[in-house]
Structure 1
Amino acid sequence: MADIKTNEVEAVDTGKGGTDSPTYWKRWITMARKGQKTHRESTKKAWEEYENAGISGDAANSGIQNARSYPIYWSSCKTLEPAYYSRTPKLNIRREFGIDDEESLTAVLITERLGDFLIKDCDFDNVMSSAVMDFIHGDKATAQVLYEADERRDTFPLFLDEQAKFVTADGQPYDGETEETEEGFFGVNIVPINQVVKLKPALYDECIHTPHAKNEEEITEKGYYFLLTRKQAEEAFDDDVVEKINWAKGTEGDPGEKRDYGDDEEGKNSVQIIGEFVEGWECWCESSKKVYWYSNQYDGFLKIADDPYKLKGFFPSPSFIISSKPSKTLFPTPSYVQLEPIIKELHKAQNKVINLISAIRRRAIVDGDEELLLLLNAPEGKEYIIHKNIQTIIDKGGLDNMIMFIPLRELVESISELSGLQEKFKNEFFEWFGVPDILRGATDPIETATAQKLKSSAAHDRFKYNKKLVQQLARDSIEMMIDLALGTFTTETLAEICGFQFMNEDQQASFESQLELLRSDRARFIRIDIETDSLSFIDEQLKADKTSIAVQTLTQGLDKVAQMVETSPEFAQVGLQALLMSLESLSPGDKFEEGIRRAIDGLIEKSKEPPPPPPDYEQMKIEVKQHQNQIKEFEAQSKAQKDQADFQIKQAKFQLDTQKQVHKQEMDQINVQVEQFKVGMEAQLQQFMMQIEQQRVGLEAQSVKIEEFKAGMQAAESKMEEIRLAREADSRTLEIMAGTQQMQGEKIQEQKALPPPNITVNSPPVNVVVEGQKKASRKVGKAQIDNEGNAVFESMDVDDGES
């Protein structure tokens, strides 16, 4: 057992600043980690055994090849885990002191709906499963509640009164935060939004407390480990603090490492974080009612805050649940410490059995040559081989006289002995660890049903204490979450969560008053509990049997109590208590019992009412006579009303027949008009179709003309192309003439006085047809030499037939 003596706990130097000194908390963390060391190491070994994280090394040290673990500890933990917690708990909200009024029902409704919402809104089952596994491995567990919210800043105008003090628009004095803008002064109201209450794990090595405390009441400090990325730290701490943090860094392939505070000899635990991060401890001090965020990566406190949650017990985690509590400390000795020798022996036996099984195979000494050895070792599917010296085998009396098999009996017997030893170790393990065969499903088939029920009952009794502790942790966690939500959530948020709009008028009227009572720890009269066996799976057959017995008991009991109410109402309460006592062993639930109590109370109250006075027979005769006269009058009135109704029916029938005739004549006229309209419409339709046909013929004619116009345009384009080609030919002719002029320059100088010759180039006529003017024309070209000797070409259009 990890026994920490008082003289072994060093006094923490408070320094000049006491608990507000970083030196104090640095030394406190060191001492708390030192006091926790033995329990932490033992629990870590148990987790490694469960996760199969250190067995191969132990087996290898013992000389076993290909070491494997014997998973008895793992299977036992997997059996215990659902026995402790396997289902989301069901809340059972009850009222103290027998309070039974409509307003208290509103408080019950608020608590129940808020609790159900908080359980569903967080990862409650996984956190509880983590706590249960810590409880199994380390015999100690707890959890931590957490509140998170965003903030919205609302501003409103402020005014100055006669004394130059700020007041709101309705004249109320204001002394809160202010902002000054160009428009004036404004008050600031910080409104929390997106409010969330969570439950997070407080693992065995991430939660420390006062090391010398002997019970929960003596704990004055608690610390919760945190590890934040840079982005998370920027949201949690001030900017100037974040800039001065000595950030630890991790990269992909080289993750950051978590330092073990105050215990350097343990080495470092790898943490898969990429990028910069900071780690430390969130220390809650009950004496100063403050929370300190301390890290070795920063010189001073990262943050100091006054009591942020205002919880009843100050600390944001319920009391530790401890299975085997020591007398002087809160650090129990885990069960694994007692079981470790047996577990290691089972590992060794398991590996020896595996090695022996691998060694069991047919081996023999052969008197022969390689061909015979090849025959004996022939692979599967090859049943025949050629052997040249088969006569030698026959001469030696056959294969039986040439092969001597190595005996395997000793190996088989060794396996049998090891298996028996394993069975012995297993039974001892289950007995010491507390895993009965009824939970493992291992029962003797020849046992009677009564014997198996006794075993089941004994197993339940054996686990009753630990299950009660787990139930207590779940209940305390839920109650703390509800307290935190009541103290931090706004009234609007609570109304939305509790379905205010779906409450009746009385509940809505008392909602705020009951909410204030719930927020007061002293005035609160609501108690939170968890239904029995709501955390683990239950036997459906057993549940059905209990339900049948409860219904039978209730039916007979109510009959007897009802008889007592009629005969002796003063003894009905005794009968009610007897009925409730008989149902208590069946655990029907508080709501069920409360319904029975209300029903019987109603019968008792009804029985206390005075009996009615005896009837007056003379008065009854007079009333009967009056009633008979009233009946006769009613019959006469009914007959008159019936005659009047028959006359009205006949009159209405005559009017209906008349209306039918008029309606028939009107319908005939309408039918004639419809036929006439139909004929007229058909004629109009035929005329319209003829017009459409004429328009279609006209469109087709226009289409033909358009095609003819397109053809004429194409012909004109062809003619234009011919003209272009002719002009290009004229240009080439002028170039030739220009060359000739250069060669005969002198001759031309002598003949300057002579008139220049006229050269006429007739281009073929181009007929261009334009709609509305059909006339043929042709191009006439003339080339001549001007006075300076340059060639000039002129062309003109002439009508066809002109020269």
Structure 2
Amino acid sequence: MTNETANLAEFETEKDAGSGDAGLVKLWLSAIDLASREEESWRKEAETTVKTFRNGDSSRNGAIERQQEFNILYSNIETLTPAIYNSTPIPDVRTRYNSDDPVAREAGDFIERCLSYDLDVDQFDPNMDSAVQDSELVGRAVTRVRYVPYISGDQESGEKLAWEEVPTEHVPWANFRRGPARCWYDVPWIAFELFLTRDQLIELSPQNGGKVNLDYSSVPDAEKQSQDSPPPEIFKRARVWEIWDKERRQVIFIATGYKEAPLRVEEDPLGLTDFFPIPRPLMSIQTSDTLVPIPPYRMYKAQAEELSTITVRINALIKMLKVRGVRDAQINEFDAIADAEDGDLVAMQDATALYAQAGGLEKAIWLMPIDMVQAVLQGLYVQREQVKQVIYEITGISDILRGASDPNETLGAQNIKAQFGSQRIQKKQKEAARYARDLLRIKAELIANKFQPQTLLMMTGIKLPSEQEKQMVQARIQQEQMKAQQTGQPPQIPEEAQELLEKPTFEEVLQLLRSDIQRQYRIDVESDSTIRADLARSQENMSMFLQGTAQYIQATAPAVQANIISKKAAVVIYSSFARNYKLGKSAEDALATLEEEAAKVEGQPDPAQQAQQQAQQAEQQKMQFEMQKMQQQAALDKQSKEMDMQMKREEHELQMQKMQADMAFREQELAFKERELAMKERSSLLDASIHQRTAEINAQATEHKARIGMETIEHKAKMARQPKEDA
């Protein structure tokens, strides 16, 4: 399918998908289906190729005959993959253009040490081996980089970041999809096929994880099982697509068993410059018109099948190479003769009659001829070797075989063979080195942007001063300089303090690491394999330059000593000679400085006159120093007087403030006494009032008691009269 057709189909799908979450799910599932159909033929071919490599494809000749075939694919893959990738890359992080940039140099040291530690603990080599094998077997390999933070603690005690890492992960070739494009940098999206359990679904989406239908089973041939005996729940998984949308910089998780809404949508979780967590895939065969991979086995599949056919025929003919024949039935001793050991003689009963009738024992035995079978076998062996050579020429293994050296050969012969033997696979080696380098760059970008400062310090062990420490050292140095000016002695500055000031601060390095643009401009992340050719050329160029310099000095030194050539002319000629080697800007600056120094040497005055001028300059400098000392002393005296006046003014102000405070205290004390007298007067009045009220209450009580007594007496008298009246 062409890109235009794919884009048109995707546009029509987007138009008909609808709106909302359900429409988004339908849109992406349609896009993934289109991407799958674009590479459907390649996937079928890749699956067949893998079966052939595993010697498990029994569809053509049967399982028994398949084991007797010549598996040249397995042999080629096992020969090529170690030749393409055979050692862990060594990170090489340096300042770009080799410029003198202390901050960038320290930042590069941080990244290089982090990458070195990460390669030791990461499964980088197995993932690279799998990638190279996939590239040579099916035509495309994908490896992703993850950022994994480890959180310790809980919500009650508080969560904190305990550790973080950036591991690599090999992506199976069958579980990767991409958007329509002709070159990798135009790919709009990529997708990874995941198979998640119920717990993983709930962790991914607490709201919708329990609603997803587990539509995939890890049990082989689960789709052939009846409805009455479905696979157990433990073997069931949900097919989930992890989609990285480069245009919107979003990561969308969509399950095929739940089409109501996406399981999760994340906004640019890694913050990478190129967004995708993978480098450009490792592809063995590439063309500029499509990104559909091509299995390299396709290029020699016909020859491989011919080789297998020849091997099957050889095996069949070998079975025919048996000593078979007929014998005279009258020879009863034939079985004993056949089973006899070396040197044994078997007695024969009717030997005379046999010789008389048949004319000898050899006339009584006839063996089936095998000369024709042997001749055919020899021809098949020759043909198989020729087919193998054709396959080796197609794959480039012939160059590896020709490059194999003999330990008895000279070093020059071995170097020539090594160079010739690697010519055909240099492109594959370079592409594998590029792939490893790109993985390191993604790791470096995640380390620079995601890792916390304490993680960087723990992983690298680099000690840099902080901004506060540097300011404290600078203040201390300024104090030493002021003290030296007062005493007239040179300042005593420790070497450790001077070295600390020359180092960049950790805040400056961290700021550079966090800035994507500045980091890319000033730091270059490579591996030893990607810079090996440049280093070899630079070393060869430097060796030639040093040899030429030695020869030039040896030739021109006598002429300069004899005043035949001036020093300036010799230096100018040498500079012109050296600039042909492209030594870099720093060397160019050094050459320019050398020319200026040579010009100054030629223009120097008479030594006696120069000594007199130096003495005068020393005297003037001494006088200037004395004047500066006097001026500094006068300034110090003036400053001392001003400080004394200031201290007296401050003392007077303190005394005035003390007097004012004393007066205020006395006023407050008088006011307190007045308030105390007033309170005593009010207390006396209150006591008198209480006494008078108490007397009034007592009088009222006495009067009340008297009235009650009178009423009681009257009541008793009344009660005493009442019976008499009743009688």
The two structures share one fold, judged by TM-score above 0.5: yes
Q: CA deviation at 1:97?
A: 5.0
Please give the TM-score of this superposition, normalised by the length of structure 2. Answer: 0.66
* Matches of 2:506 and 2:144, distance apart in 1: 29
Partner in structure 1 of residue 687 of structure 2: none
Check the 8 A contact 1:227/1:280 in 2, yes or no.
Answer: yes
Partner in structure 1 of residue 68 of structure 2: 68
Structure 2, unpaired ranges of 5+: 225-230, 466-498, 557-566, 616-727
Select which of 313, 316, 325 maps to 2:274.
313
**Alignment partner of 2:456: what SS?**
helix
Check the 8 A contact 1:291/1:304 in 2, yes or no.
Answer: yes
Q: CA deviation at 1:77?
A: 1.7
Q: In the TM superposition, what are the counterparts of 1:210-229 in structure 2 within 5 Å? A: 210=179, 212-229=180-197
**Alignment partner of 2:278: what SS?**
coil
Note the alpha carbon deviations across 1:340-376, whole angstroms, 9 max, x for none. 1111111111121122223212222212336243134
Distance of aligned partners of 1:8 and 1:357 in 2 relative to their CA distance in 1, 3 Å threshold: farther
Q: State the identity as a percent.
A: 23
* Matches of 1:618 and 1:520, distance apart in 2: 54
* Matches of 1:357 and 1:229, distance apart in 2: 53
Select which of 283, 289, 295 maps to 2:243.
283
Q: CA deviation at 1:554?
A: 6.0
Select which of 355, 360, 381 maps to 1:419.
381
Check the 8 A contact 2:242/2:251 in 1, yes or no.
Answer: yes
Partner in structure 1 of residue 26 of structure 2: 23
Q: In the TM superposition, what are the counterparts of 1:487-526 in structure 2 within 5 Å? A: 487-501=449-463, 505=500, 509-524=504-519, 525-526=522-523
Q: Number of residues paired by the alignment?
A: 549
Q: CA deviation at 1:87?
A: 0.9
Distance of aligned partners of 1:613 and 1:619 in 2 relative to their CA distance in 1, 3 Å threshold: closer
Q: CA deviation at 1:616?
A: 4.1
Q: CA deviation at 1:476?
A: 0.9
* Matches of 2:68 and 2:79, distance apart in 1: 21
* Matches of 1:535 and 1:72, distance apart in 2: 33
Residue 41 (str. 1) matches residue 31 (str. 2): no
Q: CA deviation at 1:534?
A: 8.0
* Matches of 2:284 and 2:432, distance apart in 1: 10
Letter in structure 1 aligned against 2:25: P
* Matches of 1:84 and 1:513, distance apart in 2: 40
Q: CA deviation at 1:65?
A: 4.7
Distance of aligned partners of 1:551 and 1:192 in 2 relative to their CA distance in 1, 3 Å threshold: same
* Matches of 2:373 and 2:415, distance apart in 1: 42
Note the alpha carbon deviations across 1:110-154, whole angstroms, 9 max, x for none. 222222223223111111111111111233323211111133579
Partner in structure 1 of residue 9 of structure 2: 10
Letter in structure 1 aligned against 2:172: L
Q: CA deviation at 1:99?
A: 2.7
Distance of aligned partners of 1:523 and 1:419 in 2 relative to their CA distance in 1, 3 Å threshold: same
Residue 363 (str. 1) matches residue 324 (str. 2): yes
Structure 1, unpaired ranges of 5+: 156-178, 180-187, 265-270, 537-542, 582-593, 624-803
* Matches of 2:595 and 2:532, distance apart in 1: 42
* Matches of 1:367 and 1:29, distance apart in 2: 77
Partner in structure 2 of residue 735 of structure 1: none
Partner in structure 2 of residue 701 of structure 1: none
Partner in structure 2 of residue 239 of structure 1: 206
RMSD: 4.2
Letter in structure 2 aligned against 1:461: Q
Check the 8 A contact 1:256/1:272 in 2, yes or no.
Answer: no
**Alignment partner of 2:269: what SS?**
coil
Letter in structure 1 aligned against 2:278: S
Q: In the TM superposition, what are the counterparts of 1:279-428 in structure 2 within 5 Å? A: 279-299=239-259, 300-369=261-330, 371-378=332-339, 383-395=344-356, 396-428=358-390
Partner in structure 2 of residue 795 of structure 1: none
**Alignment partner of 1:223: what SS?**
strand
Q: CA deviation at 1:548?
A: 11
Distance of aligned partners of 1:577 and 1:476 in 2 relative to their CA distance in 1, 3 Å threshold: farther
Residue 197 (str. 1) matches residue 162 (str. 2): no
* Matches of 1:133 and 1:618, distance apart in 2: 76
**Alignment partner of 2:332: what SS?**
helix
Q: CA deviation at 1:102?
A: 2.2
Check the 8 A contact 1:215/1:329 in 2, yes or no.
Answer: yes
Larger of the two Rg values belongs to structure = 1
Note the alpha carbon deviations across 1:627-651, whole angstroms, 9 max, x for none. xxxxxxxxxxxxxxxxxxxxxxxxx
* Matches of 1:618 and 1:553, distance apart in 2: 41
Letter in structure 1 aligned against 2:318: I
Check the 8 A contact 1:86/1:535 in 2, yes or no.
Answer: no
Please give the TM-score of this superposition, normalised by the length of structure 1. Answer: 0.60
* Matches of 2:169 and 2:150, distance apart in 1: 19
* Matches of 1:548 and 1:380, distance apart in 2: 72
Distance of aligned partners of 1:154 and 1:559 in 2 relative to their CA distance in 1, 3 Å threshold: farther
Note the alpha carbon deviations across 1:721-754, whole angstroms, 9 max, x for none. xxxxxxxxxxxxxxxxxxxxxxxxxxxxxxxxxx
Distance of aligned partners of 1:421 and 1:577 in 2 relative to their CA distance in 1, 3 Å threshold: farther
Partner in structure 1 of residue 547 of structure 2: 556
Q: CA deviation at 1:493?
A: 1.1
Letter in structure 1 aligned against 2:381: S
Q: CA deviation at 1:246?
A: 2.8
Going by fraction, where is helix more abundant, 1 or 2?
Answer: 2
* Matches of 1:441 and 1:425, distance apart in 2: 20
* Matches of 2:184 and 2:611, distance apart in 1: 78
Check the 8 A contact 1:138/1:335 in 2, yes or no.
Answer: yes
**Alignment partner of 1:10: what SS?**
helix
* Matches of 1:489 and 1:497, distance apart in 2: 10
Note the alpha carbon deviations across 1:358-399, whole angstroms, 9 max, x for none. 321222221233624313432657945454333333323322
Residue 474 (str. 1) matches residue 442 (str. 2): no
After TM superposition, the structure 1 stretch with the greater mean CA deviation from structure 2, 347-356 or 317-326, is 317-326
* Matches of 2:340 and 2:503, distance apart in 1: 87
Check the 8 A contact 1:113/1:497 in 2, yes or no.
Answer: yes
Check the 8 A contact 1:221/1:284 in 2, yes or no.
Answer: yes
**Alignment partner of 2:280: what SS?**
coil
Select which of 57, 60, 67 maps to 1:58.
60
Partner in structure 2 of residue 112 of structure 1: 112
Q: CA deviation at 1:86?
A: 0.7
* Matches of 2:610 and 2:241, distance apart in 1: 93
Q: CA deviation at 1:422?
A: 0.8
**Alignment partner of 2:422: what SS?**
helix
* Matches of 2:296 and 2:99, distance apart in 1: 45
* Matches of 1:80 and 1:65, distance apart in 2: 27
Partner in structure 2 of residue 432 of structure 1: 394
Letter in structure 2 aligned against 1:556: Q
Distance of aligned partners of 1:286 and 1:310 in 2 relative to their CA distance in 1, 3 Å threshold: same
Q: CA deviation at 1:279?
A: 3.3
Letter in structure 2 aligned against 1:296: T
Residue 256 (str. 1) matches residue 219 (str. 2): yes
Letter in structure 2 aligned against 1:350: T
Note the alpha carbon deviations across 1:501-551, whole angstroms, 9 max, x for none. 389735864332122223222222111222347899xxxxxx9xx999789
Going by fraction, where is strand more abundant, 1 or 2?
Answer: 1
Check the 8 A contact 2:389/2:398 in 1, yes or no.
Answer: no
Check the 8 A contact 1:92/1:528 in 2, yes or no.
Answer: yes
Check the 8 A contact 1:89/1:534 in 2, yes or no.
Answer: no
Distance of aligned partners of 1:433 and 1:446 in 2 relative to their CA distance in 1, 3 Å threshold: same
Q: CA deviation at 1:569?
A: 3.5
**Alignment partner of 2:162: what SS?**
strand
Q: CA deviation at 1:491?
A: 1.7
Note the alpha carbon deviations across 1:428-478, whole angstroms, 9 max, x for none. 111222222444656899999999866654543332322222121111111
Letter in structure 1 aligned against 2:512: L
* Matches of 1:281 and 1:304, distance apart in 2: 12
Check the 8 A contact 1:4/1:328 in 2, yes or no.
Answer: no
Distance of aligned partners of 1:196 and 1:443 in 2 relative to their CA distance in 1, 3 Å threshold: closer
Distance of aligned partners of 1:561 and 1:330 in 2 relative to their CA distance in 1, 3 Å threshold: farther
Check the 8 A contact 1:151/1:191 in 2, yes or no.
Answer: yes
* Matches of 2:403 and 2:341, distance apart in 1: 43
